[in-house]
Structure 1
Amino acid sequence: MAETETLCEYCAAIDFEQLRLPSSKDVGKLNEGRPVEDIFPSIDYSIWSTDRPHWSLGTQSRIQRSAATCPFCREVSLVLETSGVRVKAPTVFEKDPICDVYFTEAGRVHAPPGVTWERNEQYLRHKLLPNKSPPSLNNLPLIPYPRVSLRWTVPEKHPMPWYANYPKYEGVIELFECFQSIEMGINERRSLFSGRERPALLDLELPRRWLRDCLDNNNGRCTPEPKGEGVRSSIFRLIDTKAKSVVEFDEHRLGDTPYVTLSYVWGTTQQAVLKRENVLQLQLPGSLQGVTSRTITDAMIFTFNMGYRYLWVDALCIVQDDDADKMSQLHIMGDIYKNAVFTIVAAAGGNSGSGLAGIRTPRTVIQRKVQVKQAGPQKMPLWLISTAMPRVVSSYQLYTSGLPWQTRGWTLQEKALSRRVFVFTDEQLFWSCRRCHRWEETDTETKLAFLSWHPMTMTEADVTPSRIWTSLWTLITDFSTRHLSLDGDAQDAFSAILREYTELTGYQFLWGLPVSKLQFSHALCWQANGPLVRRECLTTLPTTSLQVKVPFPSWSWLGWKGDIRNQWCSASSLKLEIRPYVLRNTPVRLVEIYDIPEDNMSRAMPSSTNGGESASPLPTHSYPNAFESLTLDTIYRTLSPDITPKRLSRTPDDQLLFFWCERTFLYFEKPSGDEDNIGVHDEEGKHLFFHIQRWVLGHLDQEWERPKYSWQSDRMKVEFIAITSYTCEWLELSSNPSQREEQGTEFFLFLIKRRQGIAYRVAMIERVPMRKWLKCERERILVALG
């Protein structure tokens, strides 16, 4: 690119100075406690802000004409052609859209550990409303890290003439983080976190430097705390990357031998796997030479060149046709990833034959540079360098979003429990640890500050106590939208995360629900953010005291596939209206949910931090004995003729919840056409109690779900039971006690269906006001929820 080229009038109007980054001198002052004036413009770079800096480049056809003489117009045209945006939105580019240049916040520069930066008053005046108190220093994003994004829009005439001055936009598409800044020249001012070119093949010295810095300077933050004598495994296998073979360690403590783990997508086939028939053969030196899949081979090369001899890969370290071996290794899966020096993430590959780009296969994207500012006083020339991985969906979208690895169920716990990861994509290598994120195309190697990078945020289980349950439900939501080759793997693929949270909280988990008086009701009332599909399969591995494969309970989020979310309200505001017992076998017995730890002869439950956890009925709607103890004799006498001692003796542990509850019958009104929501009324159709999403019909009667199905009647009788109540303490309520209770209490209901005496959750209805619940014809019943 010739330096004599000048920007066109559109590009020259862009304030590229806002892309200059703090220098090492600036950050040095901050670290010494000295304020730095005007370290960045007081501008909001947030992607959702209407105030983020933007400039128009005119129509796309103008940009293409200008590309012959304007270097930045040329780069915008090249980005459009190479990114695939035109293919994603062909109708937008048929109409000659207008292109805008945006600056968006891609990350934030933070003080190093142990250092607090002084508030920037200019930032506070711009960001905060007058009546708001300033945020804490630790949470103050002092220095935003902007990048250049592009947006194409098609302005249309507004359909309403009185809005003629306000254009209506049709077909908007954005390409986030297309360019980053880089200062090129000779000057004492060295900017931090500038862009850089990444080579076609990985320069291995760079990841070695990242790892050394973490091991030397993170003060144990990225190292798991030892558990007593350390985690031991009766048999622990690793790949010897030097001898090209599998090695076995007997009664081995995981922390004694440095090793690396691999997280990848198997795909439909695996070139070589460990089986009972080849366990001894694959322990011979050289036995893995030329027989491992491409991803495993590249991982072995990377591990060896990083200075480590041993690599753990599930396909070759677990006997794949031995359930006992699988179960023993699954039990320590979380510890395997936590104790590894680092984890290699093969994020780009759709199967084990994809390999790791940059190890033996060159990356293909060519990064280009364009000068946008000449040198000035104390300033070097400012250039832009194109990024290797611009994204279409959102600036906050993970770099791995949409890649096969990010969509697979097993890879979540491998990512969440690893303390350090090297993430291989098609175009560059990323690093993430408990302290920082790093990547090839940006110079992040400094101890003066560190950069938190939005698209590299890794979901972690290592969280502060105040966010323990928030982080768990973040993981559950992530997991619920992922795919499993075998649905029966659902619990096993999340089990290591649950064990980690048992260590963090002291609570056991029942099918993914914490056995805690404060949290169980909250977890039981998980909700769907869209249609769900029931897991009708059995677990892949035998479980329970009967050692059989069992179905997933309908009351657990593990029993469903779809977008599952936690309740928006706090756990302390939800109160169980039931006293649940779980069925245990050998011998057959009932165990109250909160007594499960004692029943398992495990650690005692930690004392509650919430003084109001004990269930207590509300006198206006609950029965006086609703929370009495429940016995097997009561179940046999009361529940159903189908529930017999013989049947329960064959029912595995933890399949059935038993409880007394209030029940009512309501009616679905016949939907018209393709309505998404269906009204729920009383028997006479006088009162509309709430609406329910149409997709639940398929779990009651598949024929009813069909839009054009000719119903034999105009409504369907359905059964609801009350599970929890919610007290709206923030409402301004009446001083009348009965009126206050009626206005301030809402119920969470389960829509259930029955089969052979067992009830099954179909959907949850939240926030039904008490005044509506009291209008229902209710009765007290005993329920076995499966």
Structure 2
Amino acid sequence: MKGRSLDDLLASASNCPICMELNEVLRGHECELHDLGEGATIPFDVHLVSQYLMPQTIEVFPRTSSARDRSEDSLHHWNKDWSELLRNPELGRYNIRQYIERKPSSTEYSVYRGMRSCFEKCLAAHRICRADTDRLWLPTRLIDVQKMKLKPSAKISLIGDRRYVALGHQWGTIPFFTLERDNLDILSNSGIRLPDLRRTFIDAIEVTRQLGVRYLWIDSLCIIQGEKGQSEWHREAASMAQVYRNAIVTLAASNATSVYEGFFGKSQNAWLNVVTPLGNSQGLNLLLSKGLQKPLDRRAWVLQEHLLSPRTIHFGDPVTWECREMTVKQTCDSLSILPSFSTPKVWTAGLRRRDCLGLWKQLVAKYSDCLLTVPSDKLVAIGGLARIFFGVLKCDYLAGIWRERVVEDLLWETASSKAARVGRYRAPSWSWASIEGGIKFQSFPQRYTLLAEILDARIDPAESDPFGEVRNGHLLVNARLLPLGAFDGRASKTLIHSDDFLRVSLDGLPSTQDGRLYLLPLVKLDTEDQYWSLLLKERESNFGPAVPEYQRLGVVTTFLKRGCSSLLTKRNLENPLWWPKVFYPRDVGPGDTARAFKEEDFKGGHTQKVRLV
């Protein structure tokens, strides 16, 4: 059974007697599911679990018990049963790919054991999950969870077990214990005291031990923090892609909003309904869960952590194992194993050039709507992914945009009514990284014509990393430049205007200082008289009046009919709040009023060099 909506889900089950029975159950809960289907903001998962596959020999250890008190025989027996189920994916009367571990819902050790079984299965049998990793590469420092000391990677033997676990989490706003230059020697020689650590770090140490791995990487404890002159952050940020790509597994504190909450401290109440058992399906249970976005998923850094890590354990609601070949979700009292054909991790095992540019735009659209504690990290937090793409594309990386299709990729627009350009310089105005808020790219048809040529493109990195922060940058473009009206500050508060002839998408609310506006045509759609252009304003140039500079303000789409657009009505021109009047062209004279767009405004004629900053 599968589908984007409840109707699709039910229709896909028409040839299966068991699924037909599930139809009746789902129909009975249709009112509850109405807001979770197609077009809704919250998807839902349907889990089928079989009572026949429940191992009955699992001993549950309470959280308060110590590792020494646990029975190794019982743990071995449990792993044997669980491993047998994993080796036989077609076990079960109805060939349902679901496997169960019975446990009290309040016990965390059963989660640890279930995740360890998934971990061992993946290491033993998943070839794709081992691709593109470097066993010899290590971060600068790691935490030795056996000795509880900070250890330089240079002192870890090349012969022994060099595997390490990485942690993905939100810091929160309350200060906590971190690595500083003043305590580096203490943590390396005397060791790390557990009372100094917050709940998320303690949970990460416990899970690392449960998985049988010796080393753990936590950013705030393995990278020296502090003021810019003392911190290692800018140097270490360049290796973030390597950290997560080469970790044996990443632990994601998905529900926690700070390091004080831990892996199990907060629930999102994801379970919508439980029906158990189904009437005629002989031991099948039906469980419905809401696919809620986890707090960690809103964090910008987590995108590359998630995509680059070959394996991730999401400590959310439910706890989920995800690798390139398998997904395991812990439902209310069970584990459900599903194939991972649609997991976003799959592409990292073999990124192909023909897919790169489209995939990059999808990732940027998702990333741009995420949150950053430090706004200047906008380009840094996606820099690890950019490095991976650069290895395939082999072309210039221009503050979030690739040189190979730079003209087309300049035509992004804001996707949120709250979008705004950041006050402090973060990227050139033509880069999506200069905007706070979600963005989206234009979807190009098969046939279109470029109306502009990029003559030069320069980016000046703030540090040595070309994929990190930038100090400044420019594009030198050869194209037509159309003078428009002058903005006087009186405007509607909406960012998007659309009518039959004109669509204007602003990057943020106009400023009273924006003054005269200009249009820079970039693309014409060959199938219709439609032109896509950048909206610009002139700014004072650092190179004098001979080389004028322009900043981007938004994107304008012009629709022509019979070679021209409709002229504005006198009523609209007299309305002081109807600001699209300023987006129609003027002739060069100072007293010129708005006129209709003409085909010759975009095609042929005089072009000039325009410097975009």
The alignment's TM-score, normalised by the length of structure 2, stands at 0.71
Of the structure 1 ranges 556-565 and 292-301, higher mean CA displacement relative to structure 2 is found in 556-565
* CA distance in 2 between partners of 1:430 and 1:297 (Å): 19
Matched, 1:410 2:301: yes
Q: Secondary structure of the equivalent of 2:232?
A: helix
* CA distance in 2 between partners of 1:564 and 1:272 (Å): 36
* CA distance in 1 between partners of 2:155 and 2:457 (Å): 36
Would the aligned equivalents of 1:260 and 1:342 in 2 still touch at CA under 8 Å? Answer: yes
Cα distance, 1:526 vs. partner?
2.1
Deviations 1:392-431 (A, max 9, x none): xxxxxxx451x32111111111111111000001x43101
Q: Secondary structure of the equivalent of 2:509?
A: helix
Gaps of 5+ in 1: 1-43, 54-102, 106-119, 124-144, 156-171, 375-379, 392-398, 539-550, 587-599, 601-651, 681-687, 705-715, 732-743
* CA distance in 2 between partners of 1:178 and 1:502 (Å): 36
| Alignment-mate amino acid for residue 433 of structure 2 | L
Alignment correspondent of 2:258 = 351
Which residue of the other structure, out of 386, 410, 416, is the alignment partner of 1:498? Answer: 386
CA separation of 1:452/1:460 partners in 2, compared to 1, >3 Å: closer, same or farther?
A: same
Alignment correspondent of 1:525 = 411
Alignment correspondent of 1:513 = 401
Deviations 1:518-538 (A, max 9, x none): x22222222332443112224
Which residue of the other structure, out of 537, 557, 564, is the alignment partner of 2:432? Answer: 557
Which residue of the other structure, out of 228, 244, 249, is the alignment partner of 2:148? Answer: 244
Which residue of the other structure, out of 77, 102, 115, is the alignment partner of 1:207? Answer: 115
| Alignment-mate amino acid for residue 181 of structure 1 | L
Alignment correspondent of 1:759 = 550
Alignment correspondent of 1:782 = 609
Where does 1:88-237 land on structure 2 (aligned, <5 Å)? 148=26, 150-152=29-31, 177=44, 180-184=47-51, 189=93, 191-194=95-98, 196=100, 199-200=104-105, 201-202=107-108, 203=110, 204-219=112-127, 221-225=128-132, 231=137, 236-237=140-141
Q: Secondary structure of the equivalent of 2:305?
A: helix
| Alignment-mate amino acid for residue 610 of structure 2 | V
Alignment correspondent of 2:168 = 263
Alignment correspondent of 1:6 = none
Would the aligned equivalents of 1:669 and 1:678 in 2 still touch at CA under 8 Å? Answer: no
Q: Secondary structure of the equivalent of 2:116?
A: helix
* CA distance in 2 between partners of 1:678 and 1:668 (Å): 17
Cα distance, 1:668 vs. partner?
8.0
CA separation of 1:343/1:226 partners in 2, compared to 1, >3 Å: closer, same or farther?
A: closer
Superposition RMSD in Å: 4.3
Alignment correspondent of 2:88 = none
Which residue of the other structure, out of 685, 692, 696, is the alignment partner of 2:504? Answer: 692
| Alignment-mate amino acid for residue 422 of structure 1 | I
CA separation of 1:271/1:460 partners in 2, compared to 1, >3 Å: closer, same or farther?
A: farther
Where does 1:247-646 land on structure 2 (aligned, <5 Å)? 247-250=151-154, 257-321=162-226, 323=228, 325-357=232-264, 370-374=276-280, 381-387=282-288, 390-391=289-290, 399=291, 401=293, 403-425=294-316, 427-441=317-331, 443-444=335-336, 451-452=339-340, 461-462=348-349, 463-516=351-404, 519-531=405-417, 532-538=419-425, 551-569=426-444, 573=448, 575=450, 577-583=452-458
Would the aligned equivalents of 2:476 and 2:609 in 1 still touch at CA under 8 Å? Answer: yes
| Count of residue pairs brought into register by the alignment | 505
CA separation of 1:765/1:183 partners in 2, compared to 1, >3 Å: closer, same or farther?
A: same
Cα distance, 1:366 vs. partner?
12
* CA distance in 2 between partners of 1:239 and 1:299 (Å): 11
| Alignment-mate amino acid for residue 329 of structure 1 | E
Would the aligned equivalents of 1:535 and 1:561 in 2 still touch at CA under 8 Å? Answer: yes
* CA distance in 2 between partners of 1:339 and 1:251 (Å): 18
Alignment correspondent of 1:395 = none
* CA distance in 2 between partners of 1:49 and 1:362 (Å): 23
Deviations 1:229-279 (A, max 9, x none): 96576xx10111111221112398999721000000011134211111111
Deviations 1:557-581 (A, max 9, x none): 1111222122211688453512331
Matched, 1:47 2:4: yes
CA separation of 1:760/1:356 partners in 2, compared to 1, >3 Å: closer, same or farther?
A: same
CA separation of 1:767/1:46 partners in 2, compared to 1, >3 Å: closer, same or farther?
A: farther
Alignment correspondent of 2:523 = 725
Alignment correspondent of 1:747 = 531
| Alignment-mate amino acid for residue 301 of structure 1 | E
Would the aligned equivalents of 1:198 and 1:440 in 2 still touch at CA under 8 Å? Answer: no
Structure having the higher Rg: 1
Would the aligned equivalents of 1:237 and 1:247 in 2 still touch at CA under 8 Å? Answer: yes
Would the aligned equivalents of 2:495 and 2:507 in 1 still touch at CA under 8 Å? Answer: no
Deviations 1:418-458 (A, max 9, x none): 11000001x4310111112111226555xxxx53487x766
Q: Secondary structure of the equivalent of 1:349?
A: coil
| Alignment-mate amino acid for residue 331 of structure 1 | A
| Alignment-mate amino acid for residue 580 of structure 1 | L
| Alignment-mate amino acid for residue 533 of structure 2 | L
Cα distance, 1:347 vs. partner?
0.4
* CA distance in 2 between partners of 1:148 and 1:282 (Å): 56
Would the aligned equivalents of 2:398 and 2:458 in 1 still touch at CA under 8 Å? Answer: no
* CA distance in 1 between partners of 2:232 and 2:279 (Å): 63
| Alignment-mate amino acid for residue 430 of structure 1 | T
Cα distance, 1:355 vs. partner?
0.3
The alignment's TM-score, normalised by the length of structure 1, stands at 0.56
* CA distance in 1 between partners of 2:146 and 2:267 (Å): 21
Alignment correspondent of 1:596 = none
| Alignment-mate amino acid for residue 524 of structure 2 | Y
Would the aligned equivalents of 1:241 and 1:309 in 2 still touch at CA under 8 Å? Answer: yes
| Alignment-mate amino acid for residue 750 of structure 1 | L
Would the aligned equivalents of 2:309 and 2:345 in 1 still touch at CA under 8 Å? Answer: no
* CA distance in 1 between partners of 2:366 and 2:92 (Å): 46
Would the aligned equivalents of 1:347 and 1:424 in 2 still touch at CA under 8 Å? Answer: yes
Q: Percent identity?
A: 18
* CA distance in 2 between partners of 1:237 and 1:561 (Å): 33
CA separation of 1:253/1:329 partners in 2, compared to 1, >3 Å: closer, same or farther?
A: farther
* CA distance in 1 between partners of 2:137 and 2:41 (Å): 48
Deviations 1:288-339 (A, max 9, x none): 3211111011001100111001000100111112646222211211011100
Would the aligned equivalents of 2:200 and 2:262 in 1 still touch at CA under 8 Å? Answer: yes
Cα distance, 1:460 vs. partner?
5.5
Would the aligned equivalents of 1:241 and 1:300 in 2 still touch at CA under 8 Å? Answer: yes
Gaps of 5+ in 2: 17-21, 54-90, 542-548, 565-596
Would the aligned equivalents of 2:150 and 2:222 in 1 still touch at CA under 8 Å? Answer: yes
Alignment correspondent of 2:584 = none
| Alignment-mate amino acid for residue 774 of structure 1 | E
Cα distance, 1:205 vs. partner?
2.2
* CA distance in 2 between partners of 1:698 and 1:364 (Å): 38
CA separation of 1:486/1:330 partners in 2, compared to 1, >3 Å: closer, same or farther?
A: same
Cα distance, 1:660 vs. partner?
3.0
Would the aligned equivalents of 1:668 and 1:678 in 2 still touch at CA under 8 Å? Answer: no
Cα distance, 1:478 vs. partner?
1.1
Would the aligned equivalents of 2:312 and 2:323 in 1 still touch at CA under 8 Å? Answer: yes
Which residue of the other structure, out of 477, 480, 487, is the alignment partner of 1:659? Answer: 477
CA separation of 1:503/1:372 partners in 2, compared to 1, >3 Å: closer, same or farther?
A: same
CA separation of 1:725/1:262 partners in 2, compared to 1, >3 Å: closer, same or farther?
A: same
